[in-house]
Amino acid sequence: MQIEKKSEALFEIKGVKKRFGRYSVLDSINLAIQPGEIVGLLGPNGCGKTTTLRIAAGFAWPDTGQVILNGSPISPDQPKSRRSIGYLPERSPVYDSFNVARYLSFVASAHNMDRVQASDSIEYVLNAFDLELVKDRTIGHLSKGYKQRIGLAQALISKPKVLLLDEPTNGLDPRQLIEARKMIKLAAQDKAVIFSTHIVQEIEALCTRVVYLDKGILHPVPLKKSLPRDCVSITVDIVCAKIEVLRKLLPPLSRESKVTIVPLGDEKFNISMTIRKAKQSDLIHLFSKHSLLESLQVDGSSLEETLIELIGEGGKL
Amino acid sequence: MIGFWSVFMRESQHYFVTPIAYVVISTFWLLSGFFFSFNQLFVSAIDMVSAFHNMSLLLMLMIPLLTMRSFAEEKQAGTLELLMTLPISDGAIILAKYLSLMMLVFFMLLGSSVAVLVLIYFGEPDLGPVLGGYTGIFLLASSFSALGLLISSLSANQVVAATATWSLLLVLWFIDYASALFPASDLIHLFQHISFSVQYLDIIRGVVTGGGFIYFFGLVLFCLVSATQVLRMKRF
CATH number of the domain that A296 lies in?
3.30.70.120
- pLDDT at residue number A2: 41
Domain match, A296 and A159 both = no
Domain match, A163 and A240 both = no
Which one-letter amino acid corresponds to residue A221? V
Task: State whether A79 and B236 contact (CB < 8 Å).
Answer: no
Sites in chain B below the pLDDT cut of 50: none
**Domain hosting residue A185, numbered range:** 11-221
pLDDT digits (tens, 9 = 90+) for A233-283: 888 888 999 888 988 888 888 876 678 888 877 888 888 888 888 888 888
Domain match, A235 and A254 both = yes
- pLDDT at residue number B212: 79
Domain boundaries, chain B: 4-233
Task: State whether A93 and B78 contact (CB < 8 Å).
Answer: yes
Domain match, A246 and A194 both = no
What span, in angstroms and rounded, lies between the C-alpha atoms of B139 and A251? 86
Task: State whether B17 and A111 contact (CB < 8 Å).
Answer: no
What lies within 8 Å, CB to CB, of A68 at 6+ separation is A11, A12, A14, A74
Domain match, A29 and A96 both = yes
pLDDT digits (tens, 9 = 90+) for B170-225: 998 888 777 666 666 677 777 777 888 878 777 766 666 777 788 889 999 999 99
Helices of type H across chain A: 49-56, 100-110, 115-128, 144-156, 174-187, 200-206, 243-249, 280-290, 303-311
What span, in angstroms and rounded, lies between the C-alpha atoms of B52 and B205? 10
Residue A251 inside a domain? The answer is yes
Residue A64 inside a domain? The answer is yes
> Which residue in the set A59, A80, A87 is minimally distant from B2, CB to CB?
A80
Helices of type H across B18-157: 20-38, 49-77, 79-85, 90-112, 114-122, 127-154
Consecutive H or E run containing B191: helix B187-194
Measured in degrees and rounded to the nearest 5, phi and psi for residue B35 equal -65, -40
Measured in angstroms, the CA of B163 and the nearest CA of chain A are apart by 24
Q: Which of A171, A199, A221 is the last residue of a domain?
A: A221
Which one-letter amino acid corresponds to residue A199? I
What lies within 8 Å, CB to CB, of A300 at 6+ separation is A227, A231, A232, A233, A277
- Report whether A104 contacts A129 (CB < 8 A): no
Domain match, A38 and A161 both = yes
Q: Does A316 contact chain B (CB < 8 Å)?
A: no
Instruction: Quote the ipTM score.
Output: 0.85
CATH number of the domain that A53 lies in?
3.40.50.300
End-to-end CA distance of chain B: 22
Measured in degrees and rounded to the nearest 5, phi and psi for residue A64 equal -140, 170
End-to-end CA distance of chain A: 10
Sites in chain A below the pLDDT cut of 70: 1-8, 223-229, 256-257, 299-317
Residue A97 inside a domain? The answer is yes
Residue A188 inside a domain? The answer is yes
Task: State whether B236 and A95 contact (CB < 8 Å).
Answer: no
Residue A276 inside a domain? The answer is yes
Q: Which of A198, A221, A244 is the last residue of a domain?
A: A221
* Longest CA pairwise span in chain B (Å): 60
Domain match, A118 and A138 both = yes
Q: Does A2 contact chain B (CB < 8 Å)?
A: no
- Report whether B129 contacts B203 (CB < 8 A): no
Domain match, A196 and A296 both = no
> Which residue in the set B6, B77, B232 is minimally distant from A110, CB to CB?
B6
Task: State whether A97 and B17 contact (CB < 8 Å).
Answer: yes
Of B132, B131, B141, residue with least CA distance to B108: B141
Of A20, A5, A42, residue with least CA distance to A200: A42
pLDDT digits (tens, 9 = 90+) for A48-78: 999 999 999 999 999 999 999 988 999 998 9
Please state, rounded to an integer, the average pLDDT across all residues of chain A.
84
Q: Which of A169, A195, A221 is the last residue of a domain?
A: A221
List, in sequence order, every beta strand (DSSP E) within chain A.
Answer: 11-20, 23-33, 38-42, 64-69, 72-74, 85-88, 162-166, 192-196, 209-214, 217-221, 231-239, 254-265, 268-276, 292-299
Give the three-state DSSP class for A76. Answer: coil
What span, in angstroms and rounded, lies between the C-alpha atoms of B67 and B161? 8
Q: Does A98 contact chain B (CB < 8 Å)?
A: yes
What span, in angstroms and rounded, lies between the C-alpha atoms of A60 and A302? 35
Best mutation target among A74, A91, A95 (most B Cβ atoms within 10 Å) is A95
What span, in angstroms and rounded, lies between the C-alpha atoms of A184 and B236? 30
Residues 100-159 on A with a CB inside 8 Å of B are: 102, 106-107, 109-112, 154
User: CB A285: neighbour CB atoms within 10 A?
Assistant: 10
Domain match, A276 and A201 both = no
Q: Report how many domains make up chain A.
A: 2
For the beta sheet containing A231-239, the strands, ordered from the edge strand earlier in sequence to the opposite edge, are: A254-265, A268-276, A231-239, A292-299
Chain A residue numbers touching B5 (CB-CB < 8 A) = 109
pLDDT digits (tens, 9 = 90+) for A24-33: 899 989 999 9
Residues 27-66 on B with a CB inside 8 Å of A are: none
- pLDDT at residue number A28: 86
Of B170, B181, B134, residue with least CA distance to B60: B170
